[in-house]
Structure 1
Amino acid sequence: MYATERHERIARAIARDGRVSVAELSREFGVTAETIRRDLDQLEQQGRLRRVHGGAVGAGSTTLAETSLLERLPQRSDEKDRIAKAAVRFVPGSFRGSLLLDAGSTTSRLADLLATWQPAASDATIDVSTNSLHIASTLHGSPHLRLRILGGAVRGITGAAVGPATVRQLSELRPDIAFIGTNGVSVEFGLSTPDEAEAAAKAAMVRAARRVIVLADSTKLQSEALVRFADLADIDTLITDTSPQADLAAALAAADVEVVLA
């Protein structure tokens, strides 16, 4: 295979998956790791990707990269729908307790399902807290949900309430399950997000909940954003759409994190 053909296939893989690894490309193309590294270097010089430890990500992917909620909602919709359907199984009709929903596009898909949640007993309700304006709007009026909106300064890009007031309110809650979104899940850095204030709110959610379930599509796996808000050992379950890479899978297992494939 010519180098130009490898380059095009690498570029397509990044566009599709968000990330490539040197080891996987070396096996796929039957060339040495050093050859793949040269390929990635050339593609980076052309502005088509960005080198990271062990591989490469899209050229626009940086630790501060963040798109708006409205932009993210329609992206990878099939994967997010599957993740949301797997997540709602943790809230069966027999569930009696409290939930905490983090702001995000995948948690918003879960909120769509919770809006029509039906209890086993017709007069039963569950308590749902969120710092997301979008999720609060989705859940408002649902007959079997008691909705609590966390206050704070609202970030326009995500529609999430953040800041000291939000963190203080979270410190006074002990929800049974927190469903958390993330921009990155990695072996070395744990869970991360680009914004410091949003990271503080997420960290407070993780501390508050009895059980922490992270919803992350496969583009978030082995990615890192600027600010860490939790270690792998701080979470109980990861719901994603593709099996994590071997090193991440091993780290999750060592941290006793249940991985659910949607």
Structure 2
Amino acid sequence: MTLDKEDRQRRLPAGRKAQLAAYVAETGEVTVTALAERFGVSIDTIRRDLDQLSADGVLVRTYGGAVSQSTASRVDRTVDVRLTMEKREKEKIAVLAASLVENGSVIMLNGGTTTLAVAKSLRHHRDLTVATNSLLVPPALSPSAIRDVYVFGGAVRTLTLATAGPVSFRTAGGSELDISCDLALIGVGAVSAAAGYTTSNLAEAAMMREMISRAARVAILADSSKFGRRLFAQVSDLGGADYLVTDSTPPPDLRDALAEAEVELLTPESP
């Protein structure tokens, strides 16, 4: 049987990749299985194509599929998309942030993929008490590092797999317990000299502000892609943190503003 021009092109690697990229851009989000059926090739072939297109920056690879760059660039992204983005940067930040955590201390972590990376980097610590609103952090913590783990209650945002509610716990009688921590590690969506630390969701911003208010020290975590941006809800001005932990040196205006606010900048290049 003679294949028409489109069918022949689908089976040629270069042509298939071009059509695949165009289809993902048009659809926004796709699965490996659906692509294999559409293009008439094996699942392994589609996986290799997606891996290559992801490496070329054409799309963003996710578990079981891919999303277009326009979909991935939306402010609110699902956890599986965010886990694929800035992975190396987040790992660098996690190592630096973990160095701020002292054995035997009490820490708070908000929900997010950067703080999730921090949780994984605490495996060599001991006797930590961790309080978080993330449903992903507790299973990521090494049992040998932990004394106690607490999860703040509230409604769960399925987009982030984190709760949005008060930073509090209550006794059996209903009265609120007074809680505090040695260090709050807070991942934010944007950092700018004018707006400080911001995020896209109002409820998350409120929870992050409350974590900051209960901490003796505060470390803001943000990769360099978040510099110079402002999102919907302010978490804090720059001076609300003791540290900004990031993967590279900020631009001059932000660096000067951080110095003026007496925020210590921690990067892989820091002495």
1:189-222: CA deviation from partner (whole Å, max 9, x where unpaired): 1111111111110111111111000111001111
Counterpart of 2:50? none
1:158-180: CA deviation from partner (whole Å, max 9, x where unpaired): 111112xx234498321000000
Is 1:100–1:129's contact at 8 Å kept on the other side of the alignment?
yes
Distance 1:171 1:74, change over 3 A: farther
Q: Does 1:117 align with 2:119?
A: no
Equivalent residue runs for 1:151-170 within 5 Å: 151-163=153-165, 166-169=166-169
Greater relative contact order, per chain length (Cα 8 Å cut-off, separation 6+) = 1
Structure 1 residue aligned with 2:234, among 228, 238, 246?
Answer: 228
Is 1:171–1:208's contact at 8 Å kept on the other side of the alignment?
no
Give the share of equivalent positions with the same residue, in percent. Answer: 34
What letter corresponds to residue 167 of structure 1 in structure 2? V
Q: Does 1:73 align with 2:75?
A: no
Structure 1 residue aligned with 2:114, among 101, 106, 122?
Answer: 106
Secondary structure in 2 aligned to 1:251?
Answer: helix
Structure 2 residue aligned with 1:83, among 89, 93, 103?
Answer: 93
What letter corresponds to residue 202 of structure 2 in structure 1? E
2:134, 2:146 → 1: CA distance? 19
1:63-91: CA deviation from partner (whole Å, max 9, x where unpaired): x7211122111211111111101111112
Counterpart of 1:216? 222
Is 1:206–1:212's contact at 8 Å kept on the other side of the alignment?
yes
How many residues matched?
194
Moved more, 134-143 or 215-224: 134-143
Indicate the structure (1 or 2) with the bigger Cα radius of gyration. Answer: 2
Aligned Cα root-mean-square deviation (Å): 2.2
What letter corresponds to residue 182 of structure 2 in structure 1? D
Equivalent residue runs for 1:39-58 within 5 Å: none
In structure 2, the gaps of 5 or more residues are 1-68, 170-175
Secondary structure in 1 aligned to 2:181?
Answer: coil
Deviation of 1:141 (Å): 3.9
1:208-251: CA deviation from partner (whole Å, max 9, x where unpaired): 11100011100111111101011101100001111111111111
Deviation of 1:60 (Å): 7.2
Is 1:117–1:144's contact at 8 Å kept on the other side of the alignment?
no
Equivalent residue runs for 1:23-62 within 5 Å: none
In structure 1, the gaps of 5 or more residues are 1-57, 120-124
Normalised TM-score (structure 2): 0.67
Structure 2 residue aligned with 1:133, among 118, 132, 135?
Answer: 135
Counterpart of 2:146? 144
Secondary structure in 2 aligned to 1:167?
Answer: coil
Is 1:68–1:157's contact at 8 Å kept on the other side of the alignment?
yes
Counterpart of 1:252? 258
Q: Does 1:199 align with 2:205?
A: yes
Distance 1:162 1:172, change over 3 A: farther
1:175, 1:135 → 2: CA distance? 17
Deviation of 1:145 (Å): 3.2
Counterpart of 1:97? 105
What letter corresponds to residue 117 of structure 1 in structure 2? H
Is 2:168–2:179's contact at 8 Å kept on the other side of the alignment?
no
Secondary structure in 1 aligned to 2:121?
Answer: helix
Counterpart of 2:243? 237
Distance 1:198 1:257, change over 3 A: same
